[in-house]
Amino acid sequence: MSLIRRSEQLLLSPISIAPSHEDLEVIGVFNPGAAMLAGEVVLLVRVAERPRERRPGFTASPRWTADHGVTVDWLNDDELDRADPRVVKILPSGPTRLTFVSHLRLVRLGDDSSVGEVTETRIVPESRWEEYGVEDPRITFLDGRYDITYAAASRHGVATALASTVDFMRFERHGIILCPDNKDVVLFPERIGGHYTAIHRPSSAAGFCRPEMWIARSPDLVHWGRHKRLYGGQSDWEADRVGAGPPPVRTPEGWLLFYHASSRPAPGERVGVYAVGAMLLDPENPARVIRRTTEPILVPTSAHEQGGFVAGVVFPTGLVERARSLVLYSGAADEHVVAIELDRDEVLAAME
C-alpha cells in the first residue's frame, strides 16, 4: 500500500555540485543525512565521482590515497564481470571494485524543500579504511552534539565509522565502530536504559538466511555489544536487502523506523527494486517490533526514481519532523536527492 506523497521536490542532481577536481565528474548526489541546525535544515549528501578520462577496453576504478588524493586503477574489461552499474568484479575470483569514489558535502536548505547553499564543507576519505569512499551518512542529535554514522568502503569491505560535530564546520572523527561488512547504522536520539542504541545491517555472503537488521547497545558510541536480531525480510519486496533508513523518531506509541528493502533482481537484471517500509518499536525495548507495514509505503514512482544511475531506487536516509507530517530526504536512483513529505498519522495507520 503505497502512501500518498503530500509533496515531493527534487533538490539536488549531479549538475548541482561541482566536482572536487577537474579530472573528475559528478555522477551522483544522493543518500543524504539530515539535521536541524539553528532552525535550518542541513544535509550531508553523498557525492559520487568518476574519472572523466575514457580508455577503450578498460574500466576506471578510482580510489583515495593519503599521498595523491584520488588515483585511478585501469582494469582490463576482458578480466571483469560487471556485477551492477556500481561495481565490477575482477575474474576469475578476484575482488570487487567500485567504479566511482564518494565523499560527503554539506548543503544548507533555504526551507525544508529548496536548496539555499551548496557549501565548501566536506568530509573526505582520510584513512586506508575509506580508500573507496565515505558514503550514506545518517545524523542523530544526541547529548548536545550531532553524531554522524557513515559507511567506510575499502578493499577490506564496507565498515561503519563515526564522526561528530556541534556546528557542521568542524568534525571530529572517531574511527571504525563496526567492522566489515556492516552498514546502514542509525543511532537512537536518546539513551535507552542508560545505554546508547543502534540499528545495523550485517552483510553475509553465506546465504543462511534472508537479509536482516540487528540492534546493539553501547556505553560510549564506540564499543558495541549485546547484539540482537531485530527483523528479517519476509516478503518478496524485501527478499534481497533490508536496512534502516533515517534514525528512528519517538512517537507516543513507540519508536518509528523507516527502512529500505530491495527485491531480488529479475532475470537479466543486476539490481532489484528498492522500496520503503516502516515499523514501530517498543519505546523501552526497541528490539521488539510492535507493528510494521507488510507492504511498501513508498515505491519508485517518479521519473527521478525510475531512471538514473541505478534505476528503480527510493532510499530515504534523512528525516525532519513537521507538526503533522514527516519530510524524508531520499536518494533517488543513486543519482538525485528528493524531499518527500508524508502524513505522520497515515504512516502509523499503515502498520499492522
Q: Is 218 a member of any domain?
A: yes
* pLDDT exceeds 90 at position 293: yes
The pLDDT, as a whole number, for residue 58 is: 95
The 3-state DSSP composition of the chain as helix, strand, coil percent (nearest 5) reads 5, 55, 35
DSSP letters, 145-175, are EEEEEEEEEETTEEEEEEEEESSSSS-EEEE
Q: Is 94 a member of any domain?
A: no
Query: What does each C-alpha distance from 246 to 90, 161, 208, 329 come to in angstroms?
Result: 33, 16, 27, 9
* pLDDT exceeds 90 at position 61: yes
196 is written with which cell numbers? 546508547
Q: Is 164 a member of any domain?
A: yes
The pLDDT, as a whole number, for residue 210 is: 86
Q: Is 96 a member of any domain?
A: no
* Residue range 126-181, pLDDT digits in tens: 999 999 999 999 999 999 999 999 999 999 999 999 999 999 999 999 999 999 99
CATH of the domain at 339: 2.115.10.20
Boundaries of domain holding 118: 7-49+106-349
Query: What does each C-alpha distance from 260 to 63, 145, 302, 317, 326 come to in angstroms?
Result: 28, 26, 17, 9, 16
Q: Is 160 a member of any domain?
A: yes
Cα 285 from Cα 97, distance rounded (Å): 39
The DSSP element (H or E) to which 303 belongs, if any, is helix 303-306
Q: Is 101 a member of any domain?
A: no
- Beta strands in 86-210, from DSSP E residues, in sequence order: 87-90, 96-98, 101-111, 114-123, 133-142, 145-154, 157-165, 172-178, 182-187, 196-202
Query: What proportion of the chain, given as a percentage, has pLDDT over 70?
Result: 99
* Residue range 76-135, pLDDT digits in tens: 999 998 767 788 989 887 889 999 999 999 999 987 678 999 999 999 999 999 999 999
Name the pTM for this structure.
0.95
Mean residue pLDDT of the chain comes to: 94
Number of domains forming the structure of the chain: 1
Three-class SS of residue 310? coil
The DSSP element (H or E) to which 250 belongs, if any, is strand 249-251
Q: Is 97 a member of any domain?
A: no
* Residue range 268-291, pLDDT digits in tens: 777 899 999 999 999 999 999 999
* Residue range 220-233, pLDDT digits in tens: 999 999 999 999 99
Q: Is 58 a member of any domain?
A: no
89 is written with which cell numbers? 568484479
The pLDDT, as a whole number, for residue 73 is: 95
